[in-house]
Amino acid sequence: MRGLFEDQKDHAEGAHRATRHLEEVAQDASGSRYYEGVWMVCTLDQGKRRKITALIWGLLFLEAALLGVCGCLRGSGMDGCVFVLLPYALCILSVCFSIRHMIEISFAGGRMREYPYKKHMKGLGPCAAAGMIFCILCIGARLAEAVMAGGWERAGRADIARNGILFLALQILTLAALVFSYRLAGSLTWKESFDPPA
């Protein structure tokens, strides 16, 4: 019974944490709602913040394009090897989540409420890091497949060998873009503020 009560308590605390940001919205005498919680303000000047944001967007589009081309290469490991397909799919998912976070960050400008800051700005770096890990796993799985097959030239035609090498090259470029995305996300520094926006 004690374990059951502890589980119920943990569930209640988790539910409270999930809705705690709603308590930061108050209502004045006229019935208008306003936010009275913590604001997160970017410490960079507007020009530098926009430049970094634009660079991150450019890298995200590059990553998406490179991953899209990888998926179109015939005989590059994308047509039957689950050890290549799985990390490739998870890498795409990481980039998609990064794009989702960047949409919210871009619309917020240089000031965000604490809850969306923790959800999106704090989630951008881990998404890029996860993408790097999955990209490395994909490259490793593709190399391992080539070795076990006895080399691309012996495993099939020359075009399959060419596509396999191109796939690796594109994955390495994707990895480089993810590394830069991760570093740029870390360069966006923020501080707490209790002053409402002007």
Judge contact between 57 and 102, C-beta under 8 A. yes
Other Cβ atoms closer than 10 A to 14: 9
Percentages helix, strand, coil for the chain, rounded to the nearest 5? Answer: 75, 10, 20
Element (H, E) at 104: helix 82-108
Per-residue pLDDT of the chain (198 residues; tens, 9 = 90+): 445 444 444 444 444 444 454 445 555 556 566 556 678 888 888 899 999 999 999 999 999 999 999 888 876 555 567 888 899 999 999 999 999 999 988 888 888 878 888 888 888 999 999 999 999 999 998 888 777 765 544 445 566 677 888 889 999 999 999 999 999 998 988 888 766 655
Supply the pTM of this predicted model.
0.76
State how far the alpha carbon of 41 is from the alpha carbons of 20, 27, 38, 186, 191, in Å. 21, 24, 10, 15, 5
Of 146, 137, 147, the residue nearest 171 (C-alpha):
137
CA distances for 170 relative to 46, 63, 65, 92, 167, angstroms: 34, 9, 10, 13, 5
